[in-house]
Amino acid sequence: MPTHDDRITSHLTDEQLYSAVHAGGSASTAAAVALRRRHWARVSAFALTVVDDTAAARHITGLAFDRLLRERPAAAPLGRPPRLFLLLEVSRAAALLTRRCDRDVGDRGAAPVAPPVPAESAPADDHSFHALIAKGFAALPPRTQALLWHSLVEREPDDEVAPMTGDRPETLAGLVSRALVSCHDASLHLHLDTRPTPWCSGFGRMLDAAATREDVRRNPHLTRHLGECPGCTTALRGLMALRETPRSVLAEAVLGSAPGAAYAVTATVPGDGAPSPTTTAPPSPRSPAERARGTTGGTRNPAVPCAIGVVTVLLAAGALVTVTRPAGTPSAVGAQAPGATRSGTGATPAQGASSAGAPPSASAPPSPTRSPSASVAPGGSPAGPPTSPAPQATASPDAPTTPLRASAFVPAVNSDTGLCLDVRGGVFANGTDVITTTCRDGSATQRWRLDDDGLLRNGARTDYCLDSRGAEDRNVGIWSCSAHARRNGENLEFALDTTGRIRPRVAPDLAVTPAGASGAVARLRPADGSANQYWNEPAD
């Protein structure tokens, strides 16, 4: 019969359970039991996939849980969902086990035995983009990582994922879709921050759009740049793969190519291709014939006793090293999760990359597919020498621009119309509409600054902020920034993606879009790559 503590912990998120374990008290044991109940079967299934021995898999799984529940300092943040922490600990232990077993077996003159990886899942081409996707994924908050991992990679039922993340089952589909967009944006943001060449930041919008649009990939400006920049070529391949096969890309990027591919292929629920069942571990991915090749004349596979011995040593010594998030992750990317709801998810990365060249042209019609993409003219001849490939901006040919970052009070200039975001009539009162009008030098009402908390403040009255009004079918307006601390305050939070789109954190799949010519209101519309959804600021 469930105890009182058991009934309480069943309603806690994974993050709350982890905190309860390390807080001590009467609920600590129940919280530890709840975490084991939620994650043991799938972690054990992964362990069996990578070591192919039941005893070794059980030892490695137990060691990973000990690391999570007993050895980590109470004050140390986990940095990623408990399931992922456990899987990475298992993967690390299995890699060490395999190296030692290969060495010991080789010393006895036998062929080394590698972890089983199905031949059809082995990567046939270069997957160097995995490092970028892994860093982009790690830059997301743990809750956003959990949404992607449990729902997208492991395909767990919504009613099982919801308690782990603290969301309602019926909202998960939308949240996961937004989380995937956020992972895309974070990966692109990280790539542009590295600036492989001085011109890379000027191609941010093209790379964003090219992930889903063939016409943009054929653009001569982008083609020339990709020919000169292997870094952008790799980044584009990664972004395309993330959109086309997100499950396998995330599994291999996070767990490593071989373990991730094996887990994505072998740990499935019969009939739907989903990951491992929640009650029992899946069978080894090797066929009976493959197993037979690991034995000779009925002799047991020499890797098995080696595996048990190595794991026993690891268990005694506690030799696993804590998995940390990648260094160099910009705080602006990891600060918030996508798909924010009133339960507190964040949004896509709040800062764009700085531009060393003019942004690409934005004149092609929008793509009919939903993607955070720019519209770029696929034709035309590139101008200038091959070493200066950045195309010209169309918003202001006399003054270079860069995607809106709003780190200081700057005009928000629409890249399609050349109009500025403004307050109707200069009237500062709750509910006043925000419009687009002709840009005026020195106009304070047309200047905006994005704070770390997501508030987009107006330069004329810094106590008034942009307001999403909480619905797609409404125009955006202004509201007193002091309301941020009160009910519905999340409607005042926005984020800027790497291409300059202004997105409400409560619905990051929408973007601020002008409704028409000068004087028309600004409204929220699905982020479909239309040119009028991109905003610029004057270049530094």
CATH code of residue 522: 2.80.10.50
Does residue 455 sit in the same domain as residue 321? no
Q: Quick one: CA torsion of 37, 38, 40, 42, rounded to 10 degrees?
A: 150
Q: For residue 317, give every residue at least 6 positions away whose Cβ sits within 8 Å of its Cβ, in sequence order, or none.
A: none
Does residue 141 sit in the same domain as residue 234? yes
Does residue 310 sit in the same domain as residue 421? no
Among 294, 312, 334, the domain-final residue is 334
Our count of domains for the chain comes to 2
Does residue 528 sit in the same domain as residue 447? yes
Alpha-carbon distance values, 325 to 22, 78, 307, 328, 329 (Å): 21, 9, 28, 9, 8
Q: What is the pLDDT of residue 265?
A: 58
- The pLDDT profile of the chain, 540 residues, written as one tens digit per residue, is 455 555 556 678 888 888 888 887 777 888 889 999 999 999 988 888 888 788 888 988 999 998 888 876 655 677 889 999 999 998 888 777 766 665 654 554 444 444 443 333 333 345 678 999 999 999 999 999 999 999 989 988 988 999 999 998 888 888 998 999 999 999 999 999 887 788 888 888 889 988 888 888 888 899 889 988 999 999 999 999 998 889 889 999 998 877 776 666 554 433 333 333 333 333 333 333 333 333 333 333 334 445 455 444 444 444 333 333 333 333 333 333 333 333 333 333 333 333 333 333 333 333 333 333 333 333 333 333 333 333 333 333 345 568 898 989 999 999 999 999 999 988 888 889 999 999 998 899 999 999 988 999 999 999 999 999 876 667 899 999 999 988 888 899 999 988 889 999 888 889 999 998 888 999 999 888 888 999 999 875
Is residue 351 in some structural domain? Answer: no
Does residue 129 sit in the same domain as residue 30? yes
Among 303, 334, 365, the domain-final residue is 334
Q: Is 176 exposed, middle or buried (0-12, 13-18, 19+ CB in 10 A)?
A: buried
Token output for 159: 């009613």
Q: For residue 130, give every residue at least 6 positions away whose Cβ sits within 8 Å of its Cβ, in sequence order, or none.
A: 238, 249, 252, 253, 257
Q: What counts of helices (H) and strands (E) characterise the chain?
A: 18, 14
Is residue 20 in some structural domain? Answer: yes
φ and ψ at residue 420, rounded to 5 degrees: -105, 150
Is residue 393 in some structural domain? Answer: no
Task: Please state, in angstroms and rounded to a whole number, the distance separating the CA atoms of residues 251 and 261.
Answer: 7
Collapsing DSSP to helix, strand or coil, 406 comes out as coil
Does residue 475 sit in the same domain as residue 326? no
Q: What is the pLDDT of residue 131?
A: 92
Alpha helix segments (H runs only) across 230-378: 230-244, 246-255, 257-266, 288-293, 303-317, 331-334
Does residue 182 sit in the same domain as residue 320? yes
Is residue 477 in some structural domain? Answer: yes
Does residue 531 sit in the same domain as residue 414? yes
Is residue 385 in some structural domain? Answer: no
Is residue 74 in some structural domain? Answer: yes
> Which contacts (CB < 8 Å, 24+ apart) does range 439-443 have?
439/411, 439/413, 443/411
Does residue 405 sit in the same domain as residue 329? no
- DSSP-derived secondary structure letter, 3: -
Q: What is the pLDDT of residue 95?
A: 77
Does residue 23 sit in the same domain as residue 161? yes
Q: Quick one: CA torsion of 423, 425, 426, 430, rounded to 10 degrees?
A: -70
Does residue 407 sit in the same domain as residue 330? no
Q: For residue 435, give every residue at least 6 positions away whose Cβ sits within 8 Å of its Cβ, in sequence order, or none.
A: 421, 422, 423, 424, 519, 520, 521, 522
Q: Please say whether the beta carbons of 280 and 41 come within 8 A.
A: yes
Q: What is the pLDDT of residue 180?
A: 92
Among 334, 363, 390, the domain-final residue is 334
Is residue 353 in some structural domain? Answer: no
Is residue 378 in some structural domain? Answer: no
Range of the domain at 39: 4-334
Does residue 79 sit in the same domain as residue 228? yes
Q: What is the pLDDT of residue 164?
A: 92
Q: What is the pLDDT of residue 443?
A: 92
